[in-house]
Amino acid sequence: MQSIDQYKPSNTPFDFTKYDGPYEVDRKNVIEALIPVGDAGPAVDIGCGPGYFTMQLSSRGWKTTSIDSDSVNIANASHYADESHVGDALSVLSALPGDHYGFAVALEIIEHMPPSRGEALLKHIHRVLKPGGRLIISTPNRFSPEGLGGYYWSEKIRRAGKWQAWDPTHVHIYSSGEILHLLKLNGFVVDRITGYYYAGRLPVIGRWQLPLKQSKRFPFNRMGFNVIVECHKQ
């Protein structure tokens, strides 16, 4: 197992066309609806990619700091950010002021690092947020129909190889229960959980799709292919 010091993040440059796909179109719509008006307060977009959500934050009045390990992504995101940093998320966050930001987003980043670094990420986010500051975090969910089929059936029972939630750069896929426990363990109060659903493939059944795109109601909010958590710093 890699230690925090041994881990090297993978650089993943991409552009806004990623969000044109049917999976991303609906997911970004769900997340956009959760971003509040900022009234010129400071926000941080961690793992910002080319800056799509940096743009959304800035358009809602947030003074946004963007972080990404890829220089191409940061070059694009800097068009919308008030401040931008190239580098590993943990290293950059450790140099930012504490108790400073009113809002943070960490979208599809925690699954790209080992669990020890995932916990360190949440500790750093907690440190830079103001008391009461809010966080939106999203990540693939092992406790979803796709996860139950891919992780438990294909990986654990059939030994068919590691299930990576359709992305070879994923390092650890959390269950909704794991990510909620980790947030609470690191000083966050969970306010709302949204499960995001998309067409998938299951063993024996094949391709399938539920007649819903999202749910905020238990238990469906904990069983989406993605789990999107709104929380705040105690």
Q: For each of the domains in the chain, give its residue range(s) and CATH number, in order of start.
A: 16-141+171-233 (3.40.50.150)
pLDDT tens digits along 87-131 = 999 999 999 999 999 999 999 999 999 999 999 999 999 999 999
pLDDT tens digits along 155-190 = 888 888 888 988 999 999 999 999 999 999 999 999
Cβ–Cβ under 8 Å, residues 94 and 120: no
CA distance 80 to 193: 28
Distance of CA 181 to the CA centre of its chain: 16
